[in-house]
């Protein structure tokens, strides 16, 4: 692949990644609920799905999916159902009350979000003598709180669960396969070895998407994390993102 062609690919990838969709919603929701650093696990799951989509197109399977109404509809309805499921689950989610020891630690860590987002800290006891989560636990050690509201945090979620959710959010989107079918041939030269070209394309797509998802969507959502410090704020966030997931799922049903 020539340098000029790669620059064109790079620019196109940035435009595509900045286009809002289920992946952006998932990333922002993870950053709000679980913190900026932990949101990377959902992003990595989304990138794994993109690699699968590119492999499907490269192997010629994408043509079969795009040309088969049955296969396309199966993936489309499965993806829509999964997004609606995520939305309903978010709507029904209830925040977890933060213990006084956690609240004190959260206040001290308010200016250090990285510390509040780490779930791998070793166990220690708070002023009340209550033991913290053991080493390796996926529970959150600290959560930012508001001084005038009851302190809460979202239910804990493992890194693997976030990765798996990100994977399915992107994987069950037949529109992505159709898009790559139209997009990739512009940057692939049949007269040259195909594997190196697809590797370059996949690496560019993934790196750009990670930069945009983590450096823009996750970071932007993290700046609004103060709204999740109270039960009311967390509830508003859950309702907004739950409805967004459902809306994207409904739109996917009417995709043709």
Please give the radius of gyration of the chain, using alpha carbons only, rounded to the nearest integer. Answer: 21
Per domain, the residue ranges of the chain are 3-95+154-253, 101-153
Do the Cβ atoms of 135 and 163 come closer than 8 Å? no
Q: Tell which residue, 66, 100, 45, has the closest CA to residue 180.
A: 66
pLDDT of the residue at 224: 80
Residue 160: enclosing H or E segment and its boundaries? helix 159-171
pTM value is: 0.72
- 109 phi/psi in degrees, rounded to 5: -95, 10
pLDDT of the residue at 151: 63
pLDDT of the residue at 138: 40
Q: Tell which residue, 94, 107, 109, has the closest CA to residue 33.
A: 94
pLDDT mean by block of 10 residues, the chain; 256 residues: 88 89 91 90 96 90 76 85 89 70 46 46 45 40 43 75 94 84 85 89 95 94 78 82 88 76
């Amino acid at each position: 692949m020539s340098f000029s062609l790669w620059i064109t690919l790079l620019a196109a990838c940035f435009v595509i990644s900045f286009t809002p969709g289920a992946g952006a919603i998932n990333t922002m929701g993870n950053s709000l609920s679980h913190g900026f650093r932990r949101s990377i696990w959902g992003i990595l799951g989304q990138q794994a799905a993109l690699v699968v989509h590119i492999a499907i197109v490269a192997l010629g399977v994408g043509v079969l999916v795009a040309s088969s109404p049955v296969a396309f509809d199966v993936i489309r309805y499965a993806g829509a159902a999964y997004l609606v499921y995520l939305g309903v689950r978010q709507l029904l989610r209830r925040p977890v009350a933060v213990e006084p020891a956690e609240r004190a630690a959260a206040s001290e860590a308010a200016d250090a979000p990285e510390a509040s987002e780490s779930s791998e800290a070793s166990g220690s006891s708070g002023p009340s003598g209550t033991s913290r989560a053991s080493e390796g636990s996926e529970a959150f050690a600290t959560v930012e709180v508001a001084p005038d509201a009851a302190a809460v945090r979202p239910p804990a979620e493992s890194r693997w669960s976030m990765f798996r959710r990100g994977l399915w959010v992107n994987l069950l989107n037949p529109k992505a396969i159709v898009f790559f079918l139209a997009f990739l041939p512009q940057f692939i030269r049949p007269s040259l070895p195909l594997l190196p070209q697809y590797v370059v394309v996949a690496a560019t797509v993934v790196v750009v998407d990670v930069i945009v998802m983590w450096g823009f969507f996750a970071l932007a959502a993290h700046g609004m994390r103060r709204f999740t410090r109270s039960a009311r704020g967390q509830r508003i966030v859950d309702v907004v993102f739950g409805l967004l997931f459902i809306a994207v799922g409904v739109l996917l049903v009417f995709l043709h």
